[in-house]
């Protein structure tokens, strides 16, 4: 009797597993990163579309319509623009706005730059003074305007009280037709210069110290170092902040609305305040949108020309 020998079962043949391709992994990772980035970008685009682009397009359409809430719009062509152009306050609003922008540029450009230079040279308590300079920006604009309204009060206001203490003549400040606009410029400069100072300060701290050392070795004094080193090295930041400041000051509203109410004698009526009057006092949304379109066209044209000129200047340099 023969004994049979059982053979162990043979393991099934398996195909060797190929190692994943590094190029394929990189493509998948890149695709995942792109999809994630576009997902985050989509949220921002939706917000811009709903709260910025749609209202802007809607305002352009309403500018050519007779529109009041609760009624069907009626197409009137350019009648809104004609009515706004013939408004006696139209010229005063543009004149006040352009004057405010010019004064704010002269005052609000120089003071933040000088403060940034001073803060950049400090050796002690830098953080404290930066907080002090930026503090007005953290105060809500309406609260800041109300504080200055009390400060400018011609009777018991702190400004006139200080002048009386120094035996100096008092002023009507925001209640005088000749001084109201300048008073608002001071308020806007104080309230908004903190952010500008920090931007200038960041630009100053990015300038290599070797440039100042070389200028000192050449015998340059403080003003010459600012002129030949500081200003050229911060030129791009200065040009961009000038553009942003002009756009912002052309849309001034809070200070005239809270402090002066457009007075006295329409001395502080600005374009944006006139838009508010058309929309919420006259219930004329067509006229308000027509004036808004004019302001948008002017700022867009100015921005295009400004960027073109600055770009040409940089290429020439």
From 108, 131, 147, 246, select the one nearest 198 (Cα to Cα).
131
Quote the mean pLDDT of the chain.
Answer: 86
Say yes or no to pLDDT of 23 above 80.
no
User: The pTM is what?
Assistant: 0.83
Say yes or no to pLDDT of 73 above 70.
yes
From 272, 282, 216, select the one nearest 249 (Cα to Cα).
272
CB count within 10 Å of CB 152 equals: 25
Q: What is the pLDDT of residues 100-128, one digit of tens each?
A: 999 998 888 888 888 988 888 887 888 88
Q: pLDDT above 70 covers what percent of the chain?
A: 91
Q: Omega of the bond prior to 264 within 30 degrees of 0, cis?
A: yes
Say yes or no to pLDDT of 163 above 70.
yes
Q: Which two tokens stand for residue 29?
A: 């990772």
Q: Which residue has the higher pLDDT, 173 or 7?
A: 173
From 173, 130, 166, 119, select the one nearest 151 (Cα to Cα).
173
Q: How far is CA 199 from CA 129, 243, 244, 311, in A?
A: 15, 14, 13, 21
> Mean pLDDT throughout 73-92?
92
The whole-angstrom separation of Cα 104 and Cα 106 is 6
């Amino acid at each position: 009797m023969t004994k049979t020998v059982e053979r162990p079962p043979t393991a099934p043949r398996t195909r060797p597993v190929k190692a994943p391709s590094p190029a394929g992994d990189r493509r998948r990772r890149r695709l995942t990163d792109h999809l994630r980035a576009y997902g985050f970008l989509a949220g921002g685009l939706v917000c811009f579309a709903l709260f910025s682009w749609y209202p802007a397009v809607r305002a352009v359409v309403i500018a050519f319509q007779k529109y009041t809430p609760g009624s069907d719009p009626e197409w009137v062509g350019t009648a809104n623009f004609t009515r706004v152009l013939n408004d006696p306050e139209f010229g005063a609003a543009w004149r006040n706005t352009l004057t405010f922008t010019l004064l704010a540029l002269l005052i609000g450009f120089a003071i933040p730059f000088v403060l940034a230079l001073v803060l950049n040279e400090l050796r002690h308590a830098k953080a404290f003074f930066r907080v002090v300079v930026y503090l007005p920006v953290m105060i809500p604009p309406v609260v800041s305007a109300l504080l200055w309204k009390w400060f400018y009060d011609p009777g018991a206001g702190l400004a006139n009280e200080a002048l009386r203490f120094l035996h100096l003549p008092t002023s009507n400040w925001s209640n005088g037709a000749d001084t109201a606009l300048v008073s608002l410029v001071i308020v806007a400069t104080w309230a908004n210069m903190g952010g500008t100072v920090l931007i200038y300060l960041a630009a100053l701290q990015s300038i290599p110290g070797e440039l100042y050392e070389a200028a000192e070795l050449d015998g340059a004094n403080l003003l010459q170092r600012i002129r030949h080193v500081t200003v050229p090295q911060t030129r791009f930041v200065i040009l961009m902040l000038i553009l942003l400041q002009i756009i912002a000051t052309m849309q001034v509203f809070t200070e005239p609305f809270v402090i002066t109410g457009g007075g006295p004698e329409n001395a502080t009526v600005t374009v944006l305040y006139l838009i508010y009057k058309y929309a919420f006092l006259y219930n004329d949304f067509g006229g308000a949108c027509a004036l808004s379109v004019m302001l948008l066209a002017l700022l867009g044209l100015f921005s295009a020309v400004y960027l073109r000129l600055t770009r040409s200047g940089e290429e020439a340099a």
